[in-house]
Structure 1
Amino acid sequence: MSKTIFEKIADHEIPSNIVYEDDVCVAFTDAFPLSKGHTLVIPRKPVENIYDLDEKTGAHIMKVITEVANAIKTAFNPAGLNVVQNNGEYASQTVFHIHFHLIPRYESEYDGFSYNWNQDPDERSDQQKKEIEDAIKNQLNV
């Protein structure tokens, strides 16, 4: 199986603008940024999506995401920041190596990024909501 572009970046096989790296993950600015400071955080090891991400790696990546987000905030003072992570082709994942986009948002700058967040138009009964809650809870090993 051939390496993804992100594995090649993590292995320094192709040029990139790495802003952070350690034994577990790498952060680099996006090659096609939506805004100034748009950065990706990835694990070094190949993990396709969040369903395959182990707890230890996930916790470390979240720590790095927080550190990089704060560095972006200090460097550029954005009005906000989106952290976006897609899983599967239907959810707009195009590189099948888990990655987290840190997208700074600026009031005075059009960045081409938006969510089309429409609430589910179907009103669910309290019973249906409880069934959904229970179905998820029953799958958790907590």
Structure 2
Amino acid sequence: MEKISKCPFCHPQQDSHQHIVFENDTCYFLQHDGHQDVLEGSGVIVPKEHRQTTFDLSLNEWTGIYELLHQVKSNLDERFHPDGYTLGWNVGLVSNQTIPHAHFHVVPRYTDEPYAGKGLRYWLKQEDNRRIR
């Protein structure tokens, strides 16, 4: 199994604030203490092998992510009772992928949060996001 020595997702146990909540043969669901105050219940699903982007995942890893996502959703529904979810992948620095290891964001959403009703498309469709050519 390929691992990169300084990658926080290849070695999740090295960050005392990062916790493996669930795992299967191919991936982990990780939560980080520092994110829970604002993004209650949020976390990321990451492949155990180092894959730089979503496009590098194997079919087996996709299957593992799918299975883990449903386990995570059941758990988050029971613990936090969210009103919806924002799910997403960032690929490359321009998309804000700051850790070069593929990771799938699972973010529970709530009707009483300030940005309720504003998902990925909302932010991308803002007029000030228009490309200048």
Q: Same fold (TM over 0.5)?
A: yes
Structure 1 residue 21 corresponds to structure 2 residue 46: no
The structure richer in strand per residue is 2
Structure 1 residue 37 corresponds to structure 2 residue 44: no
Q: Deviations over 1:32-57 (max 9, x none)?
A: 32421011111111001111111111
Is the partner of 1:109 in helix, strand or coil? Answer: coil
Q: 1:48 corresponds to which residue?
A: 52
Q: Deviations over 1:22-77 (max 9, x none)?
A: 33111121343242101111111100111111111111111101210221011111
Structure 1 residue 59 corresponds to structure 2 residue 96: no
TM-score where L is the length of structure 2: 0.77
Q: 2:91 corresponds to which residue?
A: 87
Q: 1:71 corresponds to which residue?
A: 75
TM-score where L is the length of structure 1: 0.73
Contact 2:28 2:48 in 1 (8 A): yes
User: Aligned residues: percent identity?
Assistant: 25
CA separation in 1, counterparts of 2:105 and 2:22? 14
Q: Relative to 1, partners in 2 of residues 1:31 and 1:94: Cα closer, same or farther, differing over 3 Å?
A: farther
Is the partner of 2:108 in helix, strand or coil? Answer: strand
Contact 2:54 2:102 in 1 (8 A): yes
CA separation in 1, counterparts of 2:11 and 2:82? 30
Contact 2:8 2:14 in 1 (8 A): no
| Superposition map of 1:103-118 within 5 A | 103-110=107-114, 114-115=119-120, 116-118=123-125
Contact 2:47 2:103 in 1 (8 A): yes
Q: Deviations over 1:72-119 (max 9, x none)?
A: 011111111111111111111110101011101111133698531329
Unaligned runs of 5+ in 2: none
Which structure's CA Rg is the greater one? 1
Q: CA RMSD in A?
A: 2.3
Unaligned runs of 5+ in 1: 122-142
Aligned residue type for 1:44? K
Contact 1:35 1:111 in 2 (8 A): no
| Superposition map of 1:121-140 within 5 A | none
Q: Count the aligned residue pairs.
A: 118
